[in-house]
Amino acid sequence: MNLWYRAEMSAKIVPPTSENLQTACSILAAGGLVAMPTETVYGLCADAANPIAIARIYDVKGRPDFNPLIAHIAGLEMAERQGHFSADAKALAGAIWPGPLSMVVNIRDTTSIASIARAGLDSVALREPSHPVARSLISTFGVPLVAPSANLSGRISPTRAQHVFDDLGDRIDLIIDGGACQSGLESTIIDARDAHPALLRLGPIAAPEIDALWPGLKQADLSAEKPVSPGQLLRHYAPNARLRINAITALPDEGYLGFGPVESDLNLSPASDLIEAAANLFDMLRQLDAQYTQIAVAPIPSGGVGDTINERLARAAERA
Ligand code: TXA
Ligand code: MG
Note down pLDDT in tens along the chain; length 320 residues.
444 555 557 899 999 999 999 999 999 999 999 999 999 999 999 999 999 999 999 999 999 888 999 999 999 999 999 999 999 999 999 999 999 999 999 999 999 999 999 999 999 999 999 999 999 999 999 999 999 999 999 899 999 999 999 999 999 999 999 999 999 999 999 999 999 999 999 999 999 999 999 999 998 766 555 556 655 655 567 899 999 999 999 999 999 999 999 999 999 999 999 999 999 999 999 999 999 999 999 999 999 899 999 999 998 998 75
Q: Say if residue 194 is in the same domain as residue 278.
A: no
Has residue 169 been placed in a domain? yes
CA of 154 from ligand 2 middle (Å) equals 7
* pLDDT for the residue numbered 213: 97
> Is there a contact between 192 and 103 (Cβ–Cβ < 8 Å)?
yes
Q: Say if residue 30 is in the same domain as residue 147.
A: yes
Kindly give the number of the ligand 1 atom that is closest to the alpha carbon of 43. Answer: 6
Number of folded domains that form the chain: 2
Kindly give the number of the ligand 1 atom that is closest to the alpha carbon of 150. Answer: 6
DSSP code, position 96: H
Has residue 69 been placed in a domain? yes
> Is there a contact between 186 and 40 (Cβ–Cβ < 8 Å)?
yes
- Ligand 1: residues with CB < 6 A are 38, 40-41, 43, 67-70, 100, 102, 104, 118, 121, 123-125, 127, 129, 147-149, 186-187, 189, 200-201, 228-232
Kindly give the number of the ligand 1 atom that is closest to the alpha carbon of 100. Answer: 1
Relative orientation angle of helices 18-29 and 132-141, to the nearest 10 degrees: 50
The answer for residues whose C-beta is within 8 angstroms of residue 244's C-beta and 6 or more apart is: 251, 254, 294, 295, 296, 297, 317
What is the extent of the structural domain holding 92?
Answer: 12-219
Q: Beta 70-72 vs 123-127: how paired, if at all?
A: parallel
Q: If you count DSSP H runs as helices and E runs as strands, how many of each does the chain have, helices first?
A: 9, 15
Give strand pairing partners of 44. 35
Ramachandran angles phi, psi of 214, nearest 5°? -145, 90
The answer for residues whose C-beta is within 8 angstroms of residue 190's C-beta and 6 or more apart is: 101, 102, 103, 104, 197, 198, 199, 200, 210, 217
Has residue 224 been placed in a domain? no
Using CA atoms, how far residue 287 sits from 76, 78, 209, 256, in Å, is 38, 38, 33, 11
Has residue 226 been placed in a domain? no
Using CA atoms, how far residue 144 sits from 162, 201, 217, 253, 270, in Å, is 25, 22, 27, 47, 40
Ligand nearest to the CA of residue 189, numbered in listed order: 1
Has residue 311 been placed in a domain? yes
Q: Say if residue 251 is in the same domain as residue 139.
A: no
* pLDDT for the residue numbered 3: 45
CA of 106 from ligand 1 middle (Å) equals 15
The answer for residues whose C-beta is within 8 angstroms of residue 231's C-beta and 6 or more apart is: 67, 68, 201
Task: Please give the span between the terminal C-alpha atoms of the chain, in angstroms, as a whole number.
Answer: 41
* pLDDT for the residue numbered 65: 87
Q: Say if residue 27 is in the same domain as residue 136.
A: yes
> Is there a contact between 192 and 229 (Cβ–Cβ < 8 Å)?
no
Q: Say if residue 106 is in the same domain as residue 184.
A: yes
Ramachandran angles phi, psi of 23, nearest 5°? -60, -45
3-state SS assignment for residue 304: coil
* pLDDT for the residue numbered 2: 46
Q: Say if residue 298 is in the same domain as residue 171.
A: no
- The CATH code of the domain that includes 305 is 3.40.50.11030
Has residue 295 been placed in a domain? yes
Q: Say if residue 192 is in the same domain as residue 280.
A: no
- The CATH code of the domain that includes 154 is 3.90.870.10
* pLDDT for the residue numbered 281: 97
CA of 249 from ligand 1 middle (Å) equals 35
